Amino acid sequence: MEKQKKIPPKLVIIKGEEEFEVRKILNKRVIREKEKFLVKWKGYIAEEDYYKWSLTICDRCFDTLKSSKM
Q: Provide the whole-model pTM.
A: 0.64
Ordered by where they begin, the domains of the chain are 21-67 (2.40.50.40)
Tens-place pLDDT, residues 6-62: 666 677 777 787 778 888 889 989 999 988 889 888 888 888 888 887 766 665 566
What is residue 23's predicted lDDT score, i.e. its pLDDT?
A: 85
Q: How many CB atoms within 10 Å of residue 40?
A: 19
Give residue 45's pLDDT: 87
- Cβ neighbors of 18 (< 8 A, separation 6 or more) are 11, 12
d(CA 31, CA 57): 16
> Using 50, 70 and 90 to split pLDDT, how confident is the model at 65?
low
